Structure formats: structure tokens, C-alpha cells
Structure 1
């Protein structure tokens, strides 16, 4: 709860209580006898009377509960509360036995002539004990919501930090493989090497510009994926067979940047890419309510990655952080084929 809102809430409560007491006081008057002086006098009396519940409530709420009740110093709390009422009792006696009767002609108690320290003490306790329990309850409720807010902020910060860490793993992992391909082209002095460098610069520009944002346009993400595919085909010197199919209206749609590259890279890295009868198939369909993405490849059983892949694990974690309860990821790992199907709702 924002501090300003919290203050306004407190002020509003006491204003309502003051007006309620003010209106209740008029029940004893004949409306025909009311005057401006009477209204001002009644308002003043009710404001003075409000001093005691306000003092008891905030002394308890701001000092005693945080310092003593929450720290389990109950005996000390009761003792300090007794001292507080003892300090207020003489003020109560003066207000009700002297100030209000003489200044405003206001008599609140039939036993006013018998009002003394202990009677004032008992009256204060009887009339304001509800504010003691009320302030304790409000204090604990406020603490609960404050704890929940801090927990949510902490989880948000942890999620942001984790996303940044995961992205830092994704980009170098992809760049390492791409640079290996470009190195091979330049080593062989292939004519496609300059074009490959240009494609890589476009990819880096997208990574640097978009990856720091939580979401990017689907159109730019698709262009990025197309560049990845073209760069891979350049590295394979035309021997790669990849079917890329994109359908649907993706204008003005948003998606987490670099969320799909790992699936495609995984197919290129672990799949058979040079079989025209079993090409790597990449399908992407966008409709009004969701986003559907699928990657299929035949397994390359001759390739063994001794380091173990971290790409799929990272992207699964990113999806869980960015699209909780809004995505479905299905990975079908069969003997000869590997298929990834991802559906994201309401992108």
C-alpha cells in the first residue's frame, strides 16, 4: 500500500468518526434552536474528545505494537500501556470536569462531580479498549501486506536477474556455432563469407537492441529467425534442407525476444540437415488467440555433444518466467526424430 494512500485512509477514518459523533450530538437538540455558535461549539467538543482515541490508537500502532508486541515483550507492553493510561487520566479528568463544562457548557458524565484519577483511568480504558485491539489488528494486517509486497518485489527482481543470466548464456552459445561456420568459410575463401558476416552483423544488431526488452515485435523476431536460417544455409554451402513455413497475421503482436532460437539451433546442431527427403521443418502459425511453433528434425546419431546441451533447459526456464500458465511446451524425443511444439496464449 502506498504511503500517501495509507495516510489518506487514516485521515478519512477519523473524519468519518468525528462527523458521526458530531451528528449524533445533535439528537439532543431541538432543530429550531440550532445556531451557528451551537454547531461550532459541538464540532469543537467532538474534536477535543477525539484526542483520546487518536492518542491511544497511534501510540499503540506506531510505537508499542512494533517495539513490544512483535518482539514478544508482552509483560513490558502491558506495563507501558498502563503508564500511557495513567498519563492520559489527569488530562481526561481536566477535559471532562473542567474544560468542556466551563468553556462549552458540555457535560458528558452524570458523575462529573465525582470524577477523579481512577475513575478517569477506568473510563478511558472502557471507552477505548477497542482501539487497542484495532490498532494491533491493523498493525499485523499492514505487516502482512508489506511482507507480501516485499516478497513479490524480491521474486520480480530474482526473475529479472535470472532472465538476464539465461540470455547471457543463449547469445554466446549461438554465436559460438555461427562464428565457427564463418571461420570455415573465410578459411576456404568462399565467396559467401562477406554475406555471412553481413548476416551476422544484422543478428547482433537485433540481439543488442531487442534482448534487453521484455518483449519484441513478432515481425522482428521472425526476420531474425529467417536470418538465422539463411546464415546456417550459407555455412552449409547449399547442402542444408530446411522448410520454413510462416502463416497468420503477426502485425502489432509481441513476443519475448530470442525465445525460439534455441529450438532451431538444437535442430541444426543435433539433426540431419542434408537429407532432402527429411528436411528440418520449422512451422510458425499466429492466430488471434495464440502463437503456435513447431520444429521437427531427424536425429543425427553420429553426432555426440560431450558438453551436454543447456539451450533447451534455459528456454524452458525463460518460458516459465515470462509466460507462467500461458504456454504449453511439448518435446517428443523418439528413436529417430525429435519434435518440439510450443503454444503461447495471448501474445
Structure 2
């Protein structure tokens, strides 16, 4: 519960209680006719009477419960509650036996002539003990919501920290692979080195700028994937066969940046890339509600490096953090093919 809502709840409760007392006040107060003076008297009397439950409630709520109950000093707490009633008893006697009858003509008790300190003490407890229990209950309800809010804030902070860590792992991974390709290209096909450097520049610009935001336009993510694919094809000197298919309308849909690249890179690393009959297939279908993304590749059984790195584990964790209950991920690892299918609902 927000702090402002909690304050409104308190104010609303006491206003309602005051209005309820007013309804009975006009019936019990001896008024021959409603005048401004008589109405003002009833309003003032009921406001004075309200001081006692207010004092008992908030002394318990703001002082005794936080200092004693939460510290498990129960015996001292019980003594303090009785001490509170003892302190208020003479005030109660003065208000009900002197101020209200003499100043406002208000007689609350038939036994007014017998009202003394101990009778005021008993009356005060009988009429207001409920506010002790009420303030206890509200304190624990308030503590529960505060604990929930702190837990949610902590989980959010941990998620942000973890996402930052995961992104810090992604950027060097792509950078090193791309630099290796360009390094080889400068010796083998120097005429294409310039194009490769330009594409690398575009990759770095996206990674350093867009990936700092939680979401990026899907169009920019697609451009990034295209640059990665084209740069990979340049590095393979035309021996990489990749089929990229994009369907649907690219508008203002937003996606977590660098969330798709690991699936593509996994296909590059562990798939057969030089078979024109079995190209790596990257398919994307975009609608107003969701994204369908699929990567299919023939498995390279000659691949010696079986380490997956952060790859798929990284992206699965990021999906869980950014898109809780808003994505469906299916990974099919068959004898000859590896398929990843992702359905992502726009946030």
C-alpha cells in the first residue's frame, strides 16, 4: 500500500467515525430548533470526544507498538497501555464532568454525579479498548505491506544488476568474434575490409547506445541482426549460406536489445554453414501483438568445441527477467537439427 493511500485511509476512517457520532449527537442533544449555534455545539462536542480514541490509537500505533511490541517486550507493553489509560483518566473526568456539561450543556452519563477518577478510568477502558487492538492490527498490516514493497524493490534492483551483468558479457563476446573476422579479412580479402569495418562500427554503435536502454525499436534490432549476418558472411568469404526471412509490419514495436542475437550466433557456432542445400534459416514474423522468431540449423557433428559459453543460458535468463510470463521458448535438439522457436509478446 502506498504511503499516501495509507494516510487517506486514516483520515477517511476518522471522518466517517466523526460523522457517525454526529448522527447520534443530534438525537441525544436537547435541541429545540436547529440553529447555527446548536449545530456548532454538537460539532465541537463530537470533535472533543474524538480526542480520546485518537490519542489512544496513535500513541499505541506510533510509539508503543514500534518500540515495545516489535522488540518483543510484551510485559512492558501491557504496563504502558494501562499507564496510558491512567494518564488519560483525569483528562476524561475533567472533559466529561466539567467542560461538556458546563460549557455545552452536554451530559454523556446518567451517573455524572458519581463520576470520579476510577470510574473515568474504567469507562475510558471500556469505551476505547477496541482502538488498542485496532492499532495493533493496522501496525501489522502496515508492516506486511512495507516488507512486501521492500522485497519487490530488492528483487527489482537485483534484476537490474543481473541484466547489466548479462549485457556486459554479451558485448565483448561479439566484439572479439567480429575483430577476429576482420583480422583474417585484412590478410585474405583486403578489398572487403572497409565494408567490414563500417558494419563493425554500426554494431558497436548499437551495442553501446541502444543496449543501455531497456527496450529498442524492433527495426533497429533487425538492422543489427542483418549487420551481424552480413559481417559473418564476409568473414566466411562467401562460404556461409544463411536464409533470412522477415514477415509482417515493422512499426513502433519495441524489444529488449540484443535478445535475439545469441540464438543466431549459436547457429553460426554449432551449425553447418557451408551447405547450400541446408542453409541456416532465420525467420521472423511481426504482428501488432507479438513476435515469432525461429532459428533452424543443421548440426555440425565435426564441431570440436562443445562449450556453449554464456549463449543460450544467458538469453533464457534475460527473457525470464524482462518478459516474465510474456514469452514462450522452445528448444529442439534433435539428431541432425537444432531448432529454437521464440514467441514474444510486446510489453
* Correspondence for 2:327: 327
* Correspondence for 1:81: 81
Instruction: Write out per-residue CA displacement over residues 316-337 of structure 1, whole angstroms, 9 at most, x where no aligned residue.
Output: 0001111111111111112222
Provide the rounded CA distance (Å) in 2 between the counterparts of 1:187 and 1:81. Answer: 87
Provide the rounded CA distance (Å) in 2 between the counterparts of 1:172 and 1:20. Answer: 69
Instruction: Write out per-residue CA displacement over residues 19-71 of structure 1, whole angstroms, 9 at most, x where no aligned residue.
Output: 22122211135776121111111111111111100000000001111111122
* Correspondence for 2:291: 291
Instruction: Write out per-residue CA displacement over residues 258-296 of structure 1, whole angstroms, 9 at most, x where no aligned residue.
Output: 000001011111111111111111011112332111111
* Correspondence for 2:337: 337
What secondary structure does 1:192 align onto? helix
Unmatched tracts of structure 1, length 5 or more:
none
Provide the rounded CA distance (Å) in 2 between the counterparts of 1:260 and 1:171. Answer: 13
* Correspondence for 1:179: 179
Residues paired across the two proteins, number? 347
Work out whether 1:156 is the aligned partner of 2:156. Answer: yes
CA deviation after TM superposition for structure 1 residue 145, in Å = 0.7
Aligned residue runs from structure 1 range 299-310, under 5 A: 299-305=299-305, 307-310=307-310
What secondary structure does 2:161 align onto? helix
Provide the rounded CA distance (Å) in 1 between the counterparts of 2:288 and 2:197. Answer: 37
Unmatched tracts of structure 2, length 5 or more:
none
Aligned residue runs from structure 1 range 133-172, under 5 A: 133-172=133-172
Provide the rounded CA distance (Å) in 2 between the counterparts of 1:298 and 1:282. Answer: 12
Instruction: Write out per-residue CA displacement over residues 110-149 of structure 1, whole angstroms, 9 at most, x where no aligned residue.
Output: 1111111111111010000111111001010011011111
* Correspondence for 2:204: 204
Provide the rounded CA distance (Å) in 2 between the counterparts of 1:166 and 1:71. Answer: 41
Q: Any runs of at least 4 consecutive aligned residues in structure 1 with deviations exceeding 4 A, and if so which?
A: 29-32
* Correspondence for 1:95: 95
Provide the rounded CA distance (Å) in 2 between the counterparts of 1:346 and 1:171. Answer: 24
CA deviation after TM superposition for structure 1 residue 209, in Å = 1.5
* Correspondence for 1:220: 220
Provide TM-score, normalisation by structure 1: 0.96
* Correspondence for 1:71: 71
Provide the rounded CA distance (Å) in 1 between the counterparts of 2:336 and 2:16. Answer: 75
* Correspondence for 2:21: 21
Instruction: Indicate conservation of the 8 Å contact 2:248/2:285, yes or no.
Output: yes
Provide the rounded CA distance (Å) in 1 between the counterparts of 2:230 and 2:191. Answer: 15
What secondary structure does 2:206 align onto? helix
Supply the RMSD in Å over aligned alpha carbons.
Answer: 1.5
Provide the rounded CA distance (Å) in 1 between the counterparts of 2:172 and 2:334. Answer: 29
Provide TM-score, normalisation by structure 2: 0.96
